[in-house]
Structure formats: structure tokens, C-alpha cells
């Protein structure tokens, strides 16, 4: 109902009146939050719907690589923590779908876009989790990269997205720590455990750097998104910060970052690092990632198998409304 109302408003106001546009731009420039019923340019609405829904899809698809290890976690403590983490990711997906719905697209439409391959989700979740050390590496590197990207989004210009990010960032910070704690245990364990930790770092390092998106000069959306304060830092700025924070953490673990060109650059006060394989990135974006097909199959099956839950919830709601009206 709310969604339909918003859609109507969007069509009526889609005239891009210069006065409205100027007022909108001034509010954004003053760091005001834009709220669902405020006027906004159609391109702003579209960009946000794309980014927030893709973010939501990433959280939901992102449950799969770790979900794969819940039954094989090495202790009850590890199992309970991993279960809680994977549930948190589901929660993040839900807040984000709700935030995106306030822009006028229904959850069903967004899910359909994911299942038909029209909408993207983060490349990182198209890689397999081969050993328990991968669970450590995901928490440390993938959640670490996610936090780096998401902390600035707490100040994104769209209110519902910014507010969703506050809670998500708190939880992601716990996720990063649990991953790093696994890495500490593995890196200080038996030679075989240390070898597994190094192998996980070797496989997850470059895909984690790709999470930040293409280099700024090849990023079609960054300039406008920075102007509208949807993005607060560019892909390259965030990637650099991530490298600078993470390399010392690898050193503390006694592990080697798999980049022969990695070198501290005193002048820029950050690390220089080797070339990212952008061919691989674009192939994964096109749906050619190592486990892309399995990921989409699992999501479609989950959606189909959950149909009865959605139907039951809708029937319950209809009955509740009927009783209230009577």
C-alpha cells in the first residue's frame, strides 16, 4: 500500500522541476537527510534502489558460503557464533529490502530482479568456502571490507539507508572480530592449521579488494553518487584504506599477503599494491564466478520452498484485518 502510494507520487513528480531540483541539491549539500516522501530526482531514486537492493541481495546470498560450514564448525562455541552471524546477515538483508521498498519498488520485484540475473550482488559471494579457515578469512577480510565501505554509508544522504547502516555496522564489527579470532587460532595452531590460514588468505585477498568495485576512472556511478552524497568515499579511496588497515593485521598473524608488489609508500602514507585482475572481476560480475550457478540455484529454491510461509503470513494478515474491521 505504502509502496504503491510512493510509486504514484514518483510518477506525478517526475517532472524534474528546476526549482525542486535546486532545493533538493541544496538540502543534500547541507547534509540533510532525504526522507521517503520528500521530492527527489528520478535518477537519485533509481540509483538508490539499485544500490540498496543489490546490497540487500549481497547480504542474503552472502549467507550461503558460511551457511555451508554451520554443521561442520569445529566446536559448539564456533557453531553458535557462526549461526548467530549468518542470522545477522539475514537481518541486514531484511532492513535493506525495507529501506529500498520506501523508494517505491516492492520486495517481490527486487527478488525477481535477482533471480532473473538483472540485479547484481557482490562478486565476493561467488567463491567457494573450501576449509574452516575460509570462515575466518571471510569474517576478517570480507566483513572487514564491508565495514570499510559501510561506515561512511551511515552518513549517506537517504535517511532510511543511513539508519539501517548504523545497526548493520555494529553487527559487522562483531563479525570482523569473530573472523580475526578464528585466524589468530589457526595461525597459532599446528603447521597444518597455519597452512590452511595462509591458503585462505591467498584465495580471499584479491576478491576482497574487488569488493570495492572498479577503479574510480572506470566507475560509471561514482561521480554522481558522490555529488548526491549517496557514496561518501570513492571505490579507490576505500580500497586503499582497507589495504592500509589489513596488511598490519596479516603481519600480526604471521601470514603473507599474496602480493609481491605490496610496499609501504612513506610519501603517501599508505601501501602501494599490485594490479587487480579486473578481467576476473568483470567475468564474476557477468555471472561467471566459480560457484555463481550454485548460488542462484540455492536462492531460487529457497524462494520457491518458502512460498507457503509467505502465503500463510498473507492469509493470517487478511484474517486479522477482517476481524479488526468486523
User: Do residues 282 and 216 touch, judged by C-beta distance below 8 A?
Assistant: no
Is residue 239 a contact residue for ligand FAQ (CB under 6 A)? no
62 binds ligand FAQ (CB under 6 A): yes
Binding-site string for ligand FAQ from residue 159 to residue 198, where x marks contact by CB under 6 A and - marks none: ----------------------------------------
Q: Which of 219, 262, 298, 303 binds ligand FAQ (CB under 6 A)?
A: 219
As a whole number of angstroms, the distance between CA 287 and CA 290 comes to 9
Among candidates 99, 146, 105, which has minimal Cα distance to 122? Answer: 146
The answer to the question of residue 232 lying near ligand FAQ (CB under 6 A) is no
List all residues 6 or more positions away from 124 whose beta carbon is below 8 Å from its beta carbon: 62, 142, 145, 207, 208, 210, 211
CB of 180 to ligand FAQ, least distance (A): 13
Contacts with ligand FAQ, 23-52, as mask; x by CB under 6 A: ---------------------------xx-
DSSP 288: I
Q: What is the smallest separation between the CB atom of 58 and ligand FAQ, expressed in angstroms? A: 4
Measured N-to-C along each axis, helices 191-210 and 159-187 cross at an angle, to the nearest 10 degrees, of 150
Does 246 bind ligand FAQ (CB under 6 A)? Our answer is no
Is the Cβ–Cβ distance between 107 and 101 less than 8 Å? yes
Range 259-288, binding ligand FAQ (CB under 6 A): 285
Helices (H) and strands (E) in the chain, counts: 15, 2
Contact letters for ligand FAQ, residues 84-113 (x by CB under 6 A):
-----x------------------------
Amino acid at each position: 500500500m505504502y509502496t504503491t502510494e510512493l510509486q504514484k507520487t514518483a510518477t506525478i513528480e517526475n517532472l524534474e522541476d528546476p526549482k525542486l531540483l535546486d532545493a533538493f541539491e541544496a538540502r543534500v549539500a547541507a547534509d540533510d537527510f532525504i526522507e521517503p516522501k520528500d521530492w527527489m530526482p528520478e535518477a537519485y531514486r533509481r540509483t538508490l534502489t539499485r544500490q540498496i537492493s543489490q546490497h540487500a541481495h549481497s547480504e542474503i546470498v552472502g549467507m550461503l558460503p558460511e551457511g555451508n560450514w554451520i554443521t561442520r564448525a569445529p566446536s559448539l562455541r564456533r557453531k553458535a557464533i557462526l549461526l548467530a552471524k549468518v542470522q545477522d546477515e539475514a537481518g541486514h538483508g531484511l532492513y535493506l529490502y525495507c529501506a529500498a521498498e520506501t523508494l517505491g519498488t516492492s520486495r517481490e520485484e527486487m527478488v525477481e530482479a535477482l533471480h532473473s540475473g538483472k540485479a547484481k550482488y557482490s562478486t565476493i559471494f561467488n567463491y567457494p568456502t573450501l576449509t574452516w579457515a575460509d570462515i575466518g578469512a571471510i569474517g576478517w577480510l570480507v566483513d572487514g571490507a564491508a565495514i570499510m565501505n559501510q561506515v561512511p554509508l551511515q552518513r549517506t544522504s537517504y535517511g532510511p539507508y543511513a539508519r539501517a547502516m548504523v545497526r548493520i555496522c555494529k553487527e559487522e564489527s562483531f563479525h570482523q572480530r569473530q573472523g580475526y579470532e578464528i585466524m589468530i587460532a589457526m595461525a597459532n595452531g599446528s603447521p597444518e592449521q597455519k597452512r590452511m590460514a595462509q591458503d585462505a588468505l591467498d584465495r580471499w585477498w584479491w576478491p576482497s579488494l574487488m569488493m570495492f568495485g572498479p577503479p574510480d576512472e572506470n566507475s560509471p556511478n561514482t561521480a554522481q553518487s558522490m555529488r548526491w552524497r549517496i557514496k561518501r568515499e570513492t571505490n579507490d579511496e576505500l580500497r586503499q584504506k582497507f589495504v592500509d588497515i589489513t596488511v598490519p593485521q596479516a603481519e600480526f598473524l604471521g601470514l603473507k599477503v599474496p602480493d609481491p608488489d605490496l610496499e609501504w609508500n612513506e610519501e603517501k602514507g599508505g601501501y602501494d599494491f599490485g594490479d587487480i585482475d579486473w578481467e576476473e572481476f568483470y567475468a564474476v560480475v557477468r555471472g561467471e564466478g566459480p560457484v555463481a550457478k550454485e548460488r542462484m540455484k540455492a536462492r531460487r529454491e529457497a524462494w520457491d520452498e518458502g512460498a507457503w510461509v509467505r502465503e500463510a503470513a498473507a492469509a493470517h494478515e487478511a484474517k486479522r484485518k477482517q476481524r479488526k474491521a468486523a
